[in-house]
Structure 1
């Protein structure tokens, strides 16, 4: 049997961080994301993990006789969906961009407004033992928020879908990791 049993990854922990677009990452994977104070953690994430989805249009072209000779790809879209379990100010800002929160005399007030566009940078940091992977999304935006349940039988959770925007070189995101099996020659 070919392959290496040490290569499959089971991401046992994860964090999602957000910051204004163009915020620098920590200098190395050994540096915690919080060493750059503008990166803010969203808090606890659902054990269901994160999911990445791809969507694009394809058009197939055939030669006479029905032989497939080419496929045109266009309108590529990539998203990552994650469920946040905490109701904190970072999540509030992602769910309700353009809204405000204030505290006066021990009373918190959250004023929710119609959402505005709010492009941000994101980092999804994954852990498998000593292996760390940081997926840096330089420009993305929360474009969908799932239904929020308010009940005594289910946790309140915020399912967020991040739409990833490419940069001028068509780069969607960059993965950084310390996995020796991924070392480029």
Structure 2
């Protein structure tokens, strides 16, 4: 059997972090995300994990006689979907950009004023662990472009399925994976 049983990853833990566009990551993987004050954790995530999807158009071109000679790819789109299980201020801001929360200290009453969502680009980092292996998927510019149906019930958790659309930079870079995985190291 070809292959190495040390290569597959089972991401046993994960956190999703969000910050303003332009926010840097901590300088090392050993440094906690919280060491850079602008990064906020969204809190507990669903056991279903995160999923990445790709969408693009392709056009095939054929030469005389029907032989495929070229394929043009365009309109590439990449998204990450994750389900947040907490109803905290960070999640509220992602689900309802431009909306506000005020608290009356005398009555301990919060008022959430929800507005029609506007574009709200942010930086995202999905931090995953598999034993001693850590990977940070750093998305310099993304935006929550879809929020799944939210159940308000006494039999199910209220959860927020967020689809994050990833925007490329001027060089076409969508994201960077930064990890300490020896299986992915380049040998000199």
In structure 2, what is the Cα distance between the partners aligned to 1:45 and 1:135?
16
In structure 1, what is the Cα distance between the partners aligned to 2:98 and 2:35?
26
1:149 to 130, 148, 151: 151
* 3-state SS of 2:69 partner: strand
The corresponding residue for 1:16 is 16
Following TM superposition, by how much is the alpha carbon of 1:62 offset from its aligned partner in structure 2, in angstroms? 0.9
The corresponding residue for 1:62 is 62
Q: Normalized against structure 1, the TM-score is what? A: 0.99
* 3-state SS of 1:98 partner: coil
The corresponding residue for 2:172 is 170
* Number of aligned residue pairs: 185
Please list, as runs of the form range in 1=range in 2, the aligned pairs for 1:95-110 lying within 5 A after superposition. 95-105=95-105, 106-110=108-112
The corresponding residue for 1:184 is 186
Following TM superposition, by how much is the alpha carbon of 1:63 offset from its aligned partner in structure 2, in angstroms? 1.2
- Deviation track 1:72-114 (CA, whole Å, cap 9, x = no partner) reads 0000000000000000000000000000011112111110000
Following TM superposition, by how much is the alpha carbon of 1:64 offset from its aligned partner in structure 2, in angstroms? 1.5
Please list, as runs of the form range in 1=range in 2, the aligned pairs for 1:11-90 lying within 5 A after superposition. 11-90=11-90
**Unmatched runs of 5 consecutive residues or more in structure 1:** none
* 3-state SS of 1:34 partner: helix
The corresponding residue for 2:133 is 131
